[in-house]
Amino acid sequence: MTTDARTPQPIAGGSPVLRVRALATAGTVVATGLIWLVAQVLDVGLVVDPRNGQPAGPIGLPIVVMFTLVLSLLGWGALAVLERLTRRARTIWTVLALVVLAVSFVPVTFVGATAGTRIVLSLMHVAVAAVLIPSLRRKRG
């Protein structure tokens, strides 16, 4: 039996694709969490000033975990929607993911922060892309 990219993968019993994508999402959280932890060990003060009248604030682990998880799930969801709509879902999604990665550096560039903070934030963005893009693109588990 052959299936095309628009055929939904069975979820009952945990399909290999579902497992890989769930692990990829968890992997992004672990990767950014580890980067945050290394920054703490190296005493990089992860503090940003949004420059919009709001006070400067630290970037704590809960914020890192929450943003990573939510944005990774949004990426997974976008791919799932595309897979139902087109045979070129993975290609379209990959282009979108790379555009989102590029755009994600804009706030890092304009926020008030030390060079160390900017480097750590950039590494987090790259880590998420490095884990998520190849993992979610996989056709089989």
DSSP class per residue in 75-114: HHHHHHHHHHH-TTHHHHHHHHHHHHHHHHHHHHHHSB--
For residue 7, tell me if it sits in a domain: no
Q: What is the pLDDT of residue 11?
A: 46
Q: What is the pLDDT of residue 141?
A: 46
For residue 20, tell me if it sits in a domain: yes
99 Cβ contact partners less than 8 Å away, ≥ 6 residues apart? none
Question: Does this model's pTM top 0.75?
Answer: yes
For residue 9, tell me if it sits in a domain: no
For residue 5, tell me if it sits in a domain: no
For residue 8, tell me if it sits in a domain: no
pLDDT exceeds 70 at position 4:
no
**Mean pLDDT of the region 23-38:** 96
For residue 127, tell me if it sits in a domain: yes
Least confident of 54-63, 115-124, 126-135: 54-63
Per-residue model confidence as pLDDT tens digits over 93-112: 999 999 999 999 998 888 88
For residue 10, tell me if it sits in a domain: no
Least confident of 12-26, 31-45, 118-132: 12-26
**Mean pLDDT of the region 49-61:** 80
**Mean pLDDT of the region 56-82:** 93
Q: What is the pLDDT of residue 112?
A: 85
Number of domains in the chain: 1
Range of the domain at 121: 16-137
Q: What is the pLDDT of residue 126?
A: 97
For residue 72, tell me if it sits in a domain: yes
Q: What is the pLDDT of residue 14?
A: 63
